[in-house]
Each structure stands twice: as structure tokens, then as C-alpha cells.
Structure 1
């Protein structure tokens, strides 16, 4: 750097002086930085390294030319980078699945909120682009001192912030739930119309926030009064109350009046707010190579009503009737048997009251719909499939008891027909046949099913009505399996079909879907009355597990999922569904509840939270069927009251081939169902004899004088003793026997109610 005329050069340091001398000796640098103004950005310059031309007179025009080229190049790069909605293949993430524009995602959010399906204080993600707070009839008002929007200037950051909803719903009252004398031996049934505050549950149970399953279960027990007065905690537990009642026609009184009526707030984002965003879809990544979906056709939003304001306990026209759905393929076994028993034992079916008094009850009775796919997942049902299904159920000892007239109003057997069910979905009815080769799509892995003629498909379906011995040898391959008979013969096709079936059933009928390896542990009253859609967390991962899935019938969320799945190969694997909602910023509409509510052992089986595990402590899911010896005293000592108390259900993750009670592997329901018990015991005795004969054949040597005699087993001993039983009963056996003793009339159910025939 030169000083005044005639003075010596000025340098800030000796290092810069040496650098200047070096450049002068070598003729100057080859690269020279040039600062170029950035269009639209004040007080900022773009530093561009350009060749240092050593031309004296022509240097100025050339530099100007290079600068202009640099400006054009910069503008092109900026214009391509901002507002880009295509996925970069060089990125490490999964490819996007989104096919809906931001305007449609806004409409989905607004429809669900207006219909009362978002009873939460959580915000709408800023990526959705909703600026004006939507009216939310599912949460009560709260104090607000914000000036009405018409009188305050628009904020430049309004489009870059999450948006809260404006509560206009009824007030909430969180009661203290506990047993009252003289009924103090059992926990109380949930109050009819009570609702679970899922925000409070997330506060105490969210694994991502470091919450323990053990602590979550304690909150769930105390808040619902399941501890039944046996409480060691002292002090106020107001913060643990998560069950509330809505007061009909009531609002809080501390809301400051405003000039605008919140009920008249526009459902959709105002046009003025839209103009602030040049590219409405700039923050969305569209599915690669896909076009945007046409605008969704949504019905008018539903009118939410508090449960306490309904004239009848069950409204047949409600968007979400109290239905448990379960999908089953193959012969009826002890797995759906125990699921149905757990339903009768825990839910408020009112079977403890005479049948004639049920018409006037104020309690909504839930129903359990068991959907049966009679043949292999890829087969076509024959014309007499429905009659054949009931004929088989009647002869099956595990299923026949539930055909009793006493259970007719609460347990229904339904025939699954894939074609019929997919045709009932308006969103995909006209297009799913184009993807019929992709129906068995699991996480992008497609299992191809060869096309067969109708007659061939008919013959395959007919084979499902025969016994295992009469089926052809090909019935053991993946395409022709009906149920999982062992870990090596896993019916993967039926599992993939069930991934789709759960969304089909919930969107068509409403309700809750349960995997067949699920046992209900407590009344779901407060979950039914919360209208929010949910699944639960995939262990440690921020993904869904849809072993429990609740969705509202005909909802905007359901329409989004089916249209998105159609454009992504009809893939309904839980991991893929997690991508659907994440890419569209709709995770708030399908809440990911903690494992503790439905799958309390999962984290322990994956080596998490073993420093403070819940009770019982399972290090693997097989401990439910084969309880380790060091823990084998707990099942009989604690019983079902000590089995993950507080959880709504338990998921034992497959093990279809493991009997719940190996020593008494038959339906033990008493004299009323002795016919089925006798048939099952004979079948078990015959199987034991065959196994014993096979073992004797292996042990017999040719040089022995005579083969050992086969011991005949009596399937029906007139006098059984406890010595014949297993010494240490496993958790699975104890729970099965507990449910069966309720049906036999030897004990009441979980809430102290006796079954009346």
C-alpha cells in the first residue's frame, strides 16, 4: 500500500511488507479478488477470484467484462438454488414422497382442526405457511392480549414462524379419579365422556425428551385411579392429571373481547398473506419425477360436539365409532383367541348387566371386528367364502365360544376381500388396479405375484378349506402360506397385506386397528373420546409403528395418505408412512404416542432404559412366553395387576408359533364350552403321542431285543392335580388363565364386574 506522494510504502506488518516485495519481484499475483455487488442485497459484496491481467491500458475494460459475467453467473446460481423443490440425488437422505402442494397441505390442516381432530396446544409448522391462527373448537380459549389482525401491521417474519391455533372450545375440568367406598377393591371405570389429554401424556412420557417408561406408567396409573388407593406418593399430583371432562356450552371467562368473531375466522389462509410468499412451494421437496396432485376434494368440516352433550351414548353417524379392528389369516389359533378375551376382560361391554337393561345405558359399548382372510394373501376368495368362514369358526375350538349369542353385540367376524375393500376407498377406487402388481409392497421392496387365471385362483382359494395334511406341497412357499407356523415359515405376505388393511379399515369405518399380537390391558374410554389420530413410536426411532392405529372415518388426513401411497407404489409400511407425513409436515395430525402406552417392553429389548426398567423387566419379547427363572416368581405373585400397569395394551411382537400355555394348550372356558375344549385336548394329546413316537423311533437301536412300548396318553383325565402343571408359570400362561377364569365365572374382570350370562 502506498502512502502520500513521494513517501515510503505503508505496511500493517512485516509479513505484509515481505509479501509485497515478493509480488513485486515475481511480477505480481496471478489471482486478484474482485468485490462485485449482489443484486437485491445492500451493503454486501461477492468476493470473486479473477485472473490478474497484467495489461496496463486494456485492464479496465476486461475487468468490467469479467465482472458482468460474474454477476450473471451468480444470479443464475441464486435463482436455481432458491425455491428448488426437486430432490438432490447426491444427498444421503431418503427420496421425498410428497405429491401435494402447500395450498392442499394447508387445507388438510384446516379441515382437521375445524373438525375437532387437533385438541392440542402445539403449533402448526411454519413450512405449512398458515399465517392467521385457525379457529380450534377442540381446545378452550386462553387469555390473549394480542391486537386483532386487522389493526396490527403485517410482520415480515409472520410467514417464517409456527402458528398457534385459536381455541374456542368448552372448558376442561381435570377430576381426581379414585375408588369410593364401598367399591374400593377394584379401580373405577373411566368416567363416561372423559378424554385423555395427549399433550400431558407427551410431557411425561416422550422418549425423545429423556422420559422413562417406568415413570410414564406411574403417571398413567395415578391419573386414571388405577392404583386404587394403594398410593405411596404424598403431595399434590395436579401436574399428573391427564384425564379431563368437557363442559358443554361453556367457555372460559378470562378471554379479552375482540372486534372479530373467532368462529367467523376464514378457514383457509387469506389471499393477502399468500402474496407475501413468492414461491408457495419453495420449502417443499416434491417426489422426484412426479407431478403435483390435483387439489383434494374434501367434504365440509365436521361439527365437533363434546361427549357430554350427546343425547345418546353412541352416535351411529359419528365419524369415529368405537370399533377395534384386527386382521387375521389362516386357521384360528390361541392368538386371536386371547386378543378377544382381553377385550371382554378390559373394555366396558356391559356384559355384567342383564341384556334387557343395555338399551337404556348411558355408556357407549365398543365392538371388536375381527377381519379374516380365509386363504393365502394373494388368493381370490371363492363365492362361498363367507359361509365357509363361519362353518370353520363353528368347528374351531378357539373361535366357537365367541359365536355365543351373549357376545353377538360386541364381537363380529368379518370376511376380508381385498378387491371389495379397495373399491370402497374413493381416493383410489379408479386407479389402484393399475398397481395391482405392487399390492405387496413393503418399504419399497415389492413381492411379485404371478398372474393366474380365474379358475386357477379359485382352486388355490378352495385349498384353504382343507386341512394342512391335504394341502399341496406348494402351500408351504411364501405365496401360499396361511399364517406363521414357525420363525422359518413366516407368512410375510399376510403381514404386508395387513399394513395396507389397517389404513383401509380405519379410513372406511373409523376406529382403532390392533395387530393380532396385541393384548388389551385397560379401558380405552378416554382414548375414544379424544378425536386425534395417532399411532405410536418405533422404539428409539422418530418413526411410526402402526401396530396400534387410530384414524377418523373419511378424514382429510386419510385422503392425503391414500393419494400419496397411490403415487408411491401403494406402500403402507410404517417406515414409509413416516416419510409421507414428515415430507408433508403433517406429523402433528398423526400423533406419534410413546411406546409406554402400547408397547412398554420395546425399549428394554433394544438395550434402552435398562437402568430403570418397568415391571415386568423383559430383555427380549420371548420372556413373555418363557419367563427367565430368576424372574419366574413374578407372574403368579403379581398377576395381571402387576403387568405393565398403566399401559393401554401390550404388543408381544409375533411369536405366532409359541403357545401361551403349553401345558394347557386349549380353551379352558368351563362346562359351557366343553365341546371345544374336548376337541382341542384330544388334538393336543394326539400331537404329543406323535412326538413321543417319533422320539422313541430315534432312540431305538436295531440291536435292541424289542422296540420300546408307546405310552398311551389320556386326553381327558378325570382328576387333574397341580403336580401335572408346570411349576413356574410364565407371564403368557398366567394372563391367559386370568382371562379364562373371568369367562368361567370364577373371578370378576379388571374393574370388579362379574360376567352375566
Structure 2
């Protein structure tokens, strides 16, 4: 008799429901599919797609109704497009191709891959690549390269990659240069009130700067400035205890290589095995500009020979002249005046010495101010140089810099567009075909008719056009009358000047904040980042004279309408994989407020905290105690310069809007005060001498009456711009030393 247990009983061959419901190993929702990448035969792209088996079970078990199939189809499509968008946005990938170009931006490339290889090789052989950063794989370099300005670094041999020979490329150059000694720069007692000048011949390791300052790596401007300040010795002893400040050293000097030290040996044979057949298309993966032919074989000069010793007898290398270039159109105002004052206040010009010693170990920098007389579209007349100096002598803001004390360091030069474009060998035979569309900015062309491009002796247009006509503007008088043509012309001028003469170009709305010795020592080319965007801003541009990079840029620009807008230049280098040859430095070095003005890093801003660029001229009341309390030393300390982004119409010092340089330049001051009075009170009658100063271009400023003054209307809280101007002017008056504690000597 069986006992009723109320439990189900199954026959031995029947499976229980518990066993049927027991879960097996978890099934993944996706399964990988490997897809070949065009042009990259040694790699496959892994794409995850929905697991068909799992979806089939889901459809059979839970989605019995017809709408289940529709749901599964929509899910598959959504996953497919999501994967596609993610793979297209992989900015860190090294296999970008034509289909990954930014939407709406056509390709700009006109050079074959073999020419890009030659450009890279020329720049490295010339010592213009003092970096260990890798050469892009897309360049397809096959030849072993040796870098004469990077120290040799012994390392274990890397295992041979399993690439077919046709796909094996060189991405690293072998360093053969001198060793680097990184400096601990500090003020030494008893001279601790001011920072020391940089060591002559020192060099900035911009790889280290990028490590501490790169915005794309989530580095803050505030932290970057601290590293720049301490590593450059600008802290004046105000150095707080840290774990390891050696990590913040970025300035070095080169030590000659000892023959007994380990140095790389030239390989005697190719260790990569037998040669294999190259790809059918050597330019596979490069996106050429549509509608133009490939450039013929690039012709480059012989790379300059690198000196055997880091320190040569002459501190000034003719291949790397220390010239600041600046371009200016229209009447000379307080903006270029401030740029020149900041140059005198910060750079090692030797003004504290009676004479510049011929045996000096310092290369004396120069400032070349390029003047474009009249509107940007105007053609200078035959007497343009004489007229330019006449106008400079009549300008209160310019005439102080014509003093003989500055004749070796400040030079005013006439800009002539035709002459300069003819001076660039890469485009001199072809640029005239684009003369009607010469003003090209980002593909937006401003057409200038020939009847509007003639000039009179005074530098103004000779045709009867409206005063506010775009082609007739000479300088920006307000935000509504912006001189757009001059801005476009300056976009091109900076590349022309650096390619022809070498040096560093600065926008006229730039104030220098420290000695640039170690940046001059850096032999590569650089600009800086466009705020949050991975693009160039060429408000600061360093390029080497007659370089392969310059050849590439001018030939590429010629085939793209001579467009030198920084966004377009960013496309030139990106399409050709040459970004490493024009290093994009963090904007913290030259434009420390930019990220804050665009709502970035406001949780930890630098000092001062500007949320708008106009705060330089109109400091907010909540932070208006800072300028007078901190002074010049509290203004983005550590940065090399500050770019205030236009605002040409706002005076630096609204209460004392004249060159306040003391008795030595009293004539210029009186002339500026007279002009200011006539502007404020147009009905006030003036004496004949004052009228001559204000209205007549044919008389000199020496006729200005000394009694013409305007009342001072100082704000109780001075703005940052006012504090900077009065600091620089106090140095020229002999009341204070410069930022390095050196007093100006007039004779």
C-alpha cells in the first residue's frame, strides 16, 4: 500500500519541470563579428551585434504576438546605428580614413604619401622635432629615422610585429642628440625679490608641458600655470612643500655627448626580413581634395646641418632668428603701444646695460612691427615708407618707440602684400590667379573690386567710397565697424612672415607676460589650441624659416584658395597627418582665460577669473580689489602671454588715455591730451599750435601746447588693463624695475 505524499511522481524517463527550468550558462546579449578595414590589412574591426539565438528565444518565449518581431527588428537597427556612431567617433584610433572626415568639411590634401614622408624626414633631420611623440602610422614611413635633438634612450629590443613587410611602418625616430639637464630655477639670496632671468640657451620640453597642461587630458589651467610658474622660477621663493617638484621641471639645457657614452649605432643591414610587394595604391587611406591634381614631387632644400655642440660661439642661430612679428593696420593706438611696452618690460633686451656686449651669451630679441598703411585692400604708393614714418612721428602712441635707445630692438617695417607674396617661392608664380579672391577666410570670400584698391599719398583709398565701406576700413573703431579685411589679411601675413624670416608671430591684441628664452630654444613649430576644440589658434605662431612644413602649408593653401584661417589650417595638417610638426600647445600658455569665458573649468578657475574678455577692461566689482592688490605679478602668473581677443575700441586706461611716459616723452603726451580734449569738447576753441597738432598732417607734434590737459577721473578700483598699462609706463619713467628687477638705463 502506497502512502499518499501529495508529491508528483515521474517515471524514470520523464524530465521534471525543475530540471527543465534550471538555467544553463548565461548567454551574452551580443556576439562579436570581425570586419576587415580597408587599407589596414593587419587589423580587423570588432563589432558587436545582437545575439540571434538569444533574440530567437526571447521572441518564442515572451513575444508570442506579432508585434514582438517588429520590436526585435527595431532593437537590432538601434544597436547597429549605435555601434556605427561609436566607431566613427573613436578619436583615439590610428586608422581614420576618408569616411571619418568631419561632416561638411571637404578634404584638403594635395600631396602624395611619399611627399608627406619626405616632409617628416626633412623636419626631423633639421632638428625641428624635439619630441618623442610617435610619427603617425598613416604616414607609412619605411625608413629608419634618427632625431639629432632627442637624447638616445637605451631600451630592450621590441619583438618583431607580425606585419607583412608591405604594412610594416616606422613610428619612432632614434634619438642621437645630446643629453638633457633639467633645471631647478629659483631666486638665490639675497636677490629674492624678483625671479631670475632664464638660463641663456635653455629649452622648454613641450612634451612635459603637454603632460601637465593638455586640456584633452582633463588638465586644469590653474594647475598648468602653477607648473609653469614653479618650473620657470617665477614663484620668487613662494614655493610650498610638495611631494616631488622634480616632476614639474620642464626647462633644460643640452649637455654634449661623451664619446664613451652609449650611442645608437647605424644598422648595417635591414633586419626586417625580405622585401615584399608594396600595395597597389601607395596613397590608400588618404583623402585627396576633389577637383585638383596631386602635387608633383615635393622639392625641398638641403636640411640645415645641426651643430656638433649645443652651445655655439654665437648665441644667435641665423637659422632660428629671435624676431617677434606683429601686423597692424590703421592709426597707431594704445593696443600696439601696450604690446611694445610689454616687450620692453619682459624680454631680455639689455636696456639695463649702457651697451649690448659683443661677447654676450644671450641672443637679443627684436620686435618687428609691420605697418599696413591704409585699408587692407589698398596698394601702397611709391612714397609709402616715407609716409609711414611721417605718420608714426605724428602719432603720440608710436613716436616714443622711435627713440634711438630702441633702434636695435624695435623696427617699424612697411607691409606690401604683393612684395611679400612674390617673396614666397612656393606661390610666387601662381598667387595672382587668385587675386580677386585674395580675402578668403574659412571658405568665405570677400571680393574686392580693382577700383577700390588704389591709394593716395596719405594712404587712403583714391576712389569715392563710403567711409564705413568694408573695403575702406583701416582699423576697428567699434564692434559694429569691424575691419574684417585686415583680420583676413593678417591670417595670411603671419605665415608669410614666419616662412620668409623665421621667428614668432603675435596678434596685436597680445601682452607678453614673461621672458620667452626657453620657447626660442625650442626648435620646432607651434601654435595653440582653440579653447575646447582640437583646432589651432594662430594668434601665436612659431615657424622655422624656409621649412618643409612651410612649403606644405603654402602649396596646400594655394590649392584651397589661399585660405589661412586657423580652422582651415587645422584641416590641412589633419588631412596630411602633420599635426605633430605644428604642435598645438594648450591655450593656458597664451590665452589663460579662454576656457573660463566659454563656461569651462569655472569650478577651479585661474587668477584672475574672467568670465568675459571685456573683464580685462571692465573688471567686475566683486573682484575689483585684485588688480591693485596683486598687480602685474598676480595676472595669470606663469603664462607666457595674454590674448585679450580684440576690443580695439576700449582704452586700456580710460582716465589717462595717453602715453604717460614722463618728461622725456612729454611732447607726445601733450599731443594725445590735446586730441582727447577735442574729442570730448568739440566746441572748445584751441590755439593755433593745438589746432596744428590735431588737424594738420603736415606739422610736427613738437608744436603741442604743454598746458593742454584733461582732468583725471580715476576709478576708485582700477581695472586690470589700467594696472598693466601704468606698470609698464612706470618702468619707462624709471620709477620701478622690470619684472626681473632690472632698471632701464637711457645712456
Question: Is TM-score (shorter-chain normalized) higher than 0.5?
Answer: yes
- Cα distance in 2 between the residues matched to 1:177 and 1:112: 31
Structure 1 residue 94 corresponds to structure 2 residue 83: no
8 Å contact kept, 2:381–2:459? no
3-state SS of 2:505 partner: strand
The match for 1:320 is 320
1:636 aligns with 2:628: yes
Closer, same or farther in 2 for the Cα pair 1:720/1:500, shift >3 Å? Answer: closer
Aligned to 1:521: 513
Using the TM superposition, name which of 101-110 and 285-294 deviates more. 285-294
Deviates more, 1:486-495 or 1:157-166: 157-166
Select the residue among 722, 741, 753 that pairs with 2:742: 753
Structure 1 CA distance for aligned equivalents of residues 171 and 607 of structure 2: 40
SS at match of 1:419: helix
The 1:640/1:607 distance shift into structure 2, 3 A limit, reads same
- Once residues 276 and 365 of structure 2 are traced to their aligned partners in structure 1, the CA distance between those partners, rounded to angstroms, is 45
Q: 1:626 to 1:153 in 2, by over 3 A?
A: closer
1:604 lines up with 2:596 in the alignment: yes
Deviation at 1:298, TM superposition (A): 0.3
C-alpha distance in 1, partners of 2:501/2:415?
14
The question of 1:462 aligning with 2:484 is answered no
Do the aligned partners of residues 242 and 88 (structure 1) sit closer, same or farther apart at CA in structure 2, a change above 3 Å counting? Answer: closer
Structure 1 pair 486–633 and aligned structure 2 pair: CA distance change class (3 A):
same
Any residues of structure 2 matched to 1:76-91 within 5 Å, and which?
none
Alpha carbons of structure 1 residues 91 and 349: separation in structure 2 relative to 1, 3 Å: closer
Q: 1:674 aligns with which of 652, 666, 673?
A: 666
For the 8 Å contact 2:212–2:219, the answer to whether it is kept is yes
1:729 has 2:724 as partner: no
Separation of aligned partners in 1, 2:240 and 2:100:
57
Question: 1 CA distance for matches of 2:162 and 2:143?
Answer: 11
Q: Which residue is 1:118 aligned to?
A: 129
- Change in CA separation of 1:292 and 1:188 when aligned onto 2, cut-off 3 Å: same
Aligned ranges for residues 244-323 of structure 1 at < 5 Å?
Answer: 244-250=252-258, 253=261, 258=265, 260=267, 275-305=277-307, 308-315=310-317, 318-323=318-323
In the TM superposition, residue 85 of structure 1 has moved relative to its aligned partner by 12
Give 1:132 shift.
Answer: 3.8
Could you tell me how far 1:250 is from its partner in structure 2? 4.0
1:234 has 2:242 as partner: yes
* CA distance in structure 2 between the partners assigned to 1:550 and 1:153 by the alignment: 37
2:166 and 2:278 in contact (8 A); partners too: no
Q: Which structure 2 residue ranges, 5 or more long, are not aligned?
A: 1-40, 43-94, 686-703
1:170-202 Cα distance to aligned partner (Å, 9 max, x none) = 000002111112211100000001000000000
1:6 corresponds in structure 2 to none
The 10-residue stretch of structure 1 (294-303 or 543-552) with the greater mean CA deviation from structure 2: 294-303
User: Which residue of 720, 725, 742 maps to 2:731?
Assistant: 742
The answer for the alignment partner of 1:429 in structure 2 is 428
Aligned pair 1:384/2:373, yes or no? Answer: no
SS of alignment partner, residue 655 of structure 2: helix
- Indicate how the Cα distance of structure 1 residues 307 and 192 shifts in structure 2: closer, same or farther if over 3 A, else same: farther
Are the structure 2 counterparts of residues 153 and 548 from structure 1 closer, same or farther at C-alpha, using a change threshold of 3 Å? closer
Cα separation, partners in 2 of 1:296 and 1:216, compared to 1, 3 Å: same
Tell me the CA shift for residue 234 of structure 1.
2.9
5+ residue gaps, structure 1: 1-39, 42-83, 694-713
Structure 1 position 476, deviation (Å)? 1.5
Alpha-carbon contact 1:86-1:285 (below 8 Å) kept: yes
| Equivalent in the alignment of 1:187 | 195
The answer to whether residue 138 in structure 2 is matched with residue 146 in structure 1 is no
Find the residue that maps to 1:183 and give its secondary structure: coil
Q: Tell me, what secondary structure is at the counterpart of 1:360?
A: coil
Is this contact kept in 2: 1:170–1:252, CA < 8 A? Answer: no
Report the equivalent of 1:593: 585
Q: Distance in 1 between matches of 2:567 and 2:165?
A: 34
Distance 1:626 1:100, change over 3 A: same
Q: CA deviation at 1:89?
A: 12
- Say if 1:170 and 1:248, in contact at 8 Å, map to a contact too: yes
Deviation at residue 462 of structure 1 after TM alignment? 3.5
**How has the CA–CA distance of structure 1 residues 91 and 720 changed in structure 2, closer, same or farther, with 3 Å as cutoff?**
closer
Task: Give the 3-state SS of the residue equivalent to 2:358 in structure 1.
Answer: helix
Q: Distance in 1 between matches of 2:532 and 2:630?
A: 29
Partners in 1 of 2:618 and 2:166 — Cα distance?
57
Q: Deviation per CA, 1:554-594, whole angstroms, max 9, x where unpaired? A: 00000000000000000000000000000000000000000
2-structure distance, mates of 1:229, 1:362: 26
Q: Are the equivalent residues in 1 in contact too, given 2:673–2:710 (CA < 8 A)?
A: no
1:249 Cα deviation from its structure 2 partner: 3.8
Q: Distance in 1 between matches of 2:101 and 2:494?
A: 35
1:367/1:411 contact within 8 Å kept = yes
Residue 117 of structure 2: which of 106, 127, 137 is its match? 106
- What does residue 375 of structure 1 align with? 374
The alpha carbon displacement at 1:161 in A equals 6.1
- After TM superposition, the score normalised by the length of structure 1 is 0.80
Contact 1:397 1:676 in 2 (8 A): yes
- Offset of residue 157 of structure 1: 7.6
1-structure distance, mates of 2:673, 2:428: 47
Aligned equivalents of 1:327, 1:280: Cα separation in 2: 42
State the Cα distance separating 1:131 from its structure 2 match: 3.2
Paired residues, number: 636
1:196 corresponding residue in structure 2: 204
In structure 2, C-alpha distance between the alignment counterparts of 1:431 and 1:146, rounded to whole Å? 49
Aligned to 1:405: 404
1:690 aligns with 2:692: no
For 2:37, the equivalent position in structure 1 comes to none
Alpha-carbon distance between aligned partners in 1 of 2:610 and 2:561, rounded to the nearest angstrom: 37
The residue aligned with 1:702 is none
Deviation at 1:270, TM superposition (A): 11
1:274 and 1:100, CA in 2 relative to 1: closer, same or farther beyond 3 A?
A: farther
Moved more, 124-133 or 575-584: 124-133
- Distance change (3 Å), C-alpha of 1:675 and 1:284: same
Give the 3-state SS of the residue equivalent to 1:133 in structure 2: coil
Offset of 1:413 from its aligned partner? 0.2
1:10 match = none
Distance 1:370 1:497 in 2: 15
After superposition, the Cα gap between the structure-2 partners of 1:430 and 1:744, relative to the gap in structure 1 and judged at 3 Å, is same
Quote the RMSD (CA, aligned, Å): 2.9
- C-alpha displacement of 1:689: 1.4
SS at match of 1:201: helix
Give 1:465 deviation, angstroms.
Answer: 5.9
Change beyond 3 A, Cα 1:273–1:335: farther
| Equivalent of residue 575 in structure 2, options 583, 603, 619 | 583
- Cα shift at 1:301: 1.1
Is the contact made by 1:375 and 1:461 (CA closer than 8 Å) also made in structure 2? Answer: no
How far apart are the structure 2 equivalents of 1:567 and 1:143? 44
Output the CA distance in 1 between the equivalents of 2:616 and 2:644: 7
> What corresponds to 2:445 in structure 1?
446
CA distances 1:265-284 after superposition (whole Å, capped 9, x unpaired): 99xx9998684333210010
Cα offset, 1:603, TM superposition:
0.2
Structural mapping, 1:322-361, within 5 Å: 322-355=322-355, 357-361=356-360
Deviation at 1:360, TM superposition (A): 2.5
8 Å contact kept, 1:247–1:306: no
Correspondence for 2:70: none
In the alignment, which residue of structure 2 is the partner of 1:703?
A: none
Match of 2:618 in 1: 626
Equivalent runs, 1:567-582 vs 2, <5 Å = 567-582=559-574
Per-residue deviation at 1:536?
0.2
Cα shift readout 1:101-153 (whole Å, capped 9, x = no counterpart): 00000000000000000010100000000134310011000013328x9xx79
Q: How far apart are the structure 2 equivalents of 1:226 and 1:240?
A: 13
The CA deviation at 1:443 is 0.2
State the secondary structure of the residue aligned to 1:545.
Answer: strand
Distance in 2 separating the partners of 1:295 and 1:271 = 29
Q: Report the Cα distance in structure 1 between the residues aligned to 2:671 and 2:245, rounded to whole angstroms.
A: 53
In the superposition, the TM-score normalised over structure 2's length comes to 0.81
